[in-house]
Amino acid sequence: MIQSMEVVNKEIHRTNWLYFIILVFFIKFLVFCIDPLPMFFLGDSASYIHTALTGWIPPDRSFVYGFIIRLTAVFSFSLTSLTALQVFTSGLNAVLLSYSLLHFFSVTPRIAFFSGFICALEPLQLMYERYVMTEALSLFLFVIYIVVIFHYLKEPKLIFIPFIQIVGTGLISLRLSFLPIILINSIALPLLSISFFFRKYSLRWTGFKALSQKMRYYRPVIIVLMIHMIASIGLTYCFHSGYKHLNGLLSKQPPAYQYQSGIFLLVSWAPVVKPVDFPRPELTDIVFSDLKYDLKDYHTRSAHHWEPGGLISHINIAVPDFYEADRVAGETAINAMKRDPFGIASLAIKQYLDYWHLDILRAGMRNDRGAIPLPKDMLEWLRDYFGLYADSFPFLKTFTNRFFFSAWPWYLFLICIPFLTLIVFFICKRNVKKYIFIIFLVSAISIAVTCSVTDGVTIRYLQPLGWLSFLIIGFLIDRALIKGENMPLLKSFSSDCNA
């Protein structure tokens, strides 16, 4: 009788999963029908399309995404196929969210499915599913990366480490801003597994004072920990070196992740930079004299990057070699950080606080919307290779970009996720602490990167936090219901979902 009930419950659970997946992709398809047009952000989209059409390797952006466009859109003569792929992966993000809540956080099915359904309607995902940009596909790889990490933390097996690093390398090939997360996790993950190894070998931690006297006692844990640590760091180095060499081979330059990362870093930290930081004193006067924009002005950093008379323009005049100029710019930025680390930190804090000024926040949203005329050569590419007449596209008020602008309170919530997660970490039960800690670590690094290596408020960089936030939201709602709080809206949602 008990066995037959278990079989029935499993069948109900499978049926509920099927209904949920159908619902998620129906919603995605419905929104896709309402708002099917591809959208563009300059100059990123033009760069990716250029790569897709000519094989050109951009020095400052992903070349991998350009080849994805070639495989999906150029061969089909339509950007709709690229958009459809991105919408599909976004639907999978919602499914993987519910899977994570069920499998790792032990959330009840109705709350897990409800969280996944709401995740499918998250405004940043809906917006950038349509953009010819790396956001949608990089988020999909990010979700897979986090899910595999959760599997590793649940039962740390060596087989997970290569997969984590392969996915991580694919992730940085689309968005280099994920690099700090990948590097830090390569060290953090084996350390977070220490408690599992102690339980596996039936050992108890007796404190650091007794460590030297009990090395033989701890030897099994130390050996397996070192194996996992060496594998994690070693594979990270190998895969990343392979990617850099591939980029160098295609670009016909020395191996590197990108070839303008130093310039981007210098622009972000420009208000802290002084002539003394420049590594080539004989060129200091050329670079720092007669700058059109005040170097200390926090709000002119973007002008220093793109406008004539800015800092980068002067560096390019002083150092004509494109790649050497990037190296010099990066060295200048590092020297500024060494000289004034608190100044760099204060810049990051100031930029974080900018998100709380609604006029600055809305300006950042308008910038991320990309409502500027497309250049003539790009319009010709879109017409000739994709059958798309896109002159008016940047100015269309579509459903998803209207939703994007109306959801500004959500973006303020997202920049608070590290703080919320830290609180949850201290009040949650031990069995989920390791998952919560990873969410805290990844979200904190994301916020730090967003606020320290960009030249202004950038909403699209918060997209990974949107997916992470639903893990915390689903977990908290489930615990609130377990404690007996009355939430009729959630109880009425798919009442038969709880197998």
**For residue 483, what are its two tokens?**
């404690």
> How far apart (Å, rounded) are the C-alpha atoms in residues 64 and 71?
11
User: Quick one: pLDDT at residue 6?
Assistant: 54
> Taken in order 330, 336, 341, 343, is the CA torsion positive or negative?
negative
User: Would you call 271 exposed, middle or buried from its count of C-beta atoms within 10 A (0-12, 13-18, 19+)?
Assistant: buried
Pair 172, 179: CB distance under 8 Å: yes
Q: Which two tokens stand for residue 87?
A: 């919408």
Give the per-residue pLDDT at 486: 46
- Taking the CA atoms of residue 64, residue 403, residue 477 and residue 490 in that order, the dihedral angle to the nearest 10 degrees is -120
Q: Which amino acid is at 26?
A: F
pLDDT of residue 14: 79
400, 126 contact by CB (below 8 A): yes
The interaxial angle of helices 430-452 and 417-427, nearest 10 deg, is 160
The three-state (H, E, C) secondary structure of 195-224, written as one string: HHHHHHCCCCCCCHHHCCCCHHHHHHHHHH
- Cα–Cα distance between 137 and 65 in angstroms, integer? 9
Ranges of the chain with pLDDT below 70: 1-13, 201-218, 483-499
pLDDT the model gives residue 494? 42
| Alpha-carbon span 461 to 477, nearest angstrom | 26
What lies within 8 Å, CB to CB, of 452 at 6+ separation is: 268, 344, 347, 348, 351
Does the CA dihedral 106-108-113-114 come out positive or negative?
Answer: negative
pTM: 0.91
Q: Which pLDDT score, from 0 to 100, does residue 490 have?
A: 43
Nearest in space to 82 (alpha carbons), one of 121, 43, 45, 131: 131
What pLDDT, on a 0 to 100 scale, did the predictor assign at position 99?
Answer: 96
Work out the widest C-alpha separation in the chain, in whole angstroms. 87
Q: Do 339 and 277 touch, CB atoms closer than 8 A?
A: yes
The encoded tokens of residue 171 equal 């992730």
User: Whose CA is closest to 21, among 151, 85, 135, 109?
Assistant: 109
Q: Do 394 and 40 meet the contact criterion of CB atoms below 8 Å apart? A: yes
The CA distance from 118 to 98, in Å, is 10
Cα 224 from Cα 191, distance rounded (Å) = 11
Decide if 86 contacts 69 (C-beta within 8 A). no
Token digits of residue 238: 């190998």
User: By the 8 A CB rule, do 91 and 467 touch?
Assistant: no
**pLDDT at 92 (0 to 100):** 97
CA distance 162 to 440: 23
Question: Quick one: pLDDT at residue 484?
Answer: 60
- Find the distance separating the first CA and the last CA of the chain, reported in whole Å: 17
Contact 444, 417 (CB under 8 A): no
Whether 394 contacts 374, CB under 8 Å: yes
Please report, for residues 41, 142, 249, the alpha-carbon distance to residue 169 in angstroms, rounded to integers and kept in the order given: 25, 11, 17
- Chain centroid to Cα 352, Å, comes to 17
> How many angstroms separate the CA atoms of 400 and 30, rounded?
12
- In DSSP notation, 228-239 reads HHHHHHHHHHHH
pLDDT of residue 476: 94
